A and B are shown apart, each in its own frame.
Chain A
Amino acid sequence: MHIAEGVLDTPTLLAAAGCTAFGLTIGLRRLTPRTLPTAALFAAVFFLVGTIHIPIGVGSVHLILNGLIGLLLGWLAFPVIFVALALQALLFSFGGFTSLGANTLLTALPAVIAGLSLRPLLQGPSSRPKLLIVGAAAATIGILGATLLAAMMLWSTGGTALSSLISLFVAAQAPIWLIEAIVTALTVGMLGRARPTAFTLGT
């Protein structure tokens, strides 16, 4: 989910950049030279899952998995998503550098909320149904939160002039949410069995 460069107005961009700077400050406190390789590898995974496409009709959607990143990394989601989006802006022109703050905020804030609210449920042994429910809930928080934030940013830029675009954008997220919920639930189910300690970084 990217908002292209040049779409948002200056006050919205500045407000989003300020919020992202706050999130980055907290996230960077949890990043040490020792945890750097793990954080970098998770950022690379986040970057690569964006290239996994699921066909829908004549088009396709790509995975975002911000809820899963939040479950795995907590506050570290802010720096990890920031650098992954910076690389996507450089290599593919997805998003851009002035909209980097806005795109980081709308992806990372729901991720952190998902992480803070659901990670305590994954400490200790978990049954498969519990893992699946936590995964689906993380994806729901991730996608619905990102959609809400993106809609708010577009509204603050264009108001009623962008209402049709916002409605279309929100409607387009419904299949993405469903796909993300299933994929995240299954991924958390597999990780919970194979690597239960995966959900402890950045605490």
Chain B
Amino acid sequence: MSHVHRPDGRLRLAATLLVSVAAALTQALSSLYAMLLIALLAMVIVVTADKTLLNNIGRRVLRVNAFLVIVWITTSVNWRYMAIDEAGTLLATQMSMRVNIVTLAASLLLARMSGVELGRAAVGLGLPNALGALLAQVARQVSLLSETKTRLERAMRARAYRSALGFRSLQVSAQMVAWLIIHALARSERISLGLRSRGMSSTRWPTRESTAWRALPKADWSTLGAVIVIIGFCLLLPTLEIQK
């Protein structure tokens, strides 16, 4: 269990979105290189402090880079003439850096954030209350329904079922989906009945107020401040190079 203080969810989400938008907007390779270098440095620092994050971040980075291999194979080479495509190579380079910057930033800034916290943070940043309430409810229902799915899979394995490409497997998958939907419908009826029997009004969105912006500790604001300064520096790099 980690006892490290994590900044307010709204500030962490805002910082993640800022990095994503900055990476999407800039075309300059020097800015993207600088952002990637700083993201890698931050990853080393965070992972050194909390080694349990290494597995999670490593898996995410590997997954996105597997996709980038396909991007490089299809865009950087002109297969008809067996030659390097310069425009394609530039595009693949920019994409590779953007994808890695954003994946690292999201993995580090949103580390250990739950679905409920994400919903509250998103509402705090202006997402409609209805969507925040839906996000929080979905996070809870996913954990409950995944238990049902695990039970179903265990029962299938006990009956010696093994997934393979064939009509039988597709039929079993369809049965599982149908069963999950029927289970979800029955569960939603029970929830509605339970809420009504406890006299709960169903005209308000079940959301919780966030801490006032002014009440947030300065240390939390410094995280967002540091991200803004770093992004500003990286975006200004191409103009500094021209002046030289």
Q: Interface of A with B (CB < 8 Å)?
A: 4-10, 13, 24, 28, 31-34, 36-45, 47-49, 51-57, 63, 65, 68, 72, 79-80, 82-84, 86-87, 89-93, 96-98, 158, 161-162, 164-165, 168, 179, 182-187, 190-191, 194-195, 198
Contacts and interface: CB of A to CB of B under 8 A. Distances in A.
A132 B241 CA distance: 63
B215 interface: no
A97 B17 contact: yes
A96 B138 CA distance: 18
Given A4-B99, A9-B24, A93 B60 contact: yes
Contact of A6 (B60, B99, B178): B99
Interface of B: 13, 16-17, 20-21, 23-25, 60, 63-64, 67, 70-71, 74-75, 79, 85, 87-88, 91, 95, 97-103, 106-107, 110, 113, 115, 118-119, 122, 128, 130-131, 133-135, 137-142, 144-146, 149, 163-165, 167, 169-171, 173-178, 180-182, 184-185, 187-188, 191-192, 195, 202-206
Nearest to A168: B74
B13 to A, nearest CB: 8
Max chain A C-beta neighbours (<10 A), residue from B67, B119, B170: B170
A48 B204 contact: no
A7 B95 contact: yes
B145 A87 contact: no
Given A83-B134, A83-B135, A45 B184 contact: yes
A194 B133 CA distance: 30
B134 A190 contact: no
Contact of A48 (B60, B75, B131, B145): B145
Contacts of B97: 6
A164 B178 CA distance: 37
A161 B184 contact: no
A38 B178 contact: no
Enumerate the 3 nearest inter-chain pairs by beta-carbon distance, A residue then B residue, closest first.
Answer: A6-B98, A186-B174, A40-B137
B205 A33 contact: yes
Contacts of B103: 5, 93, 96
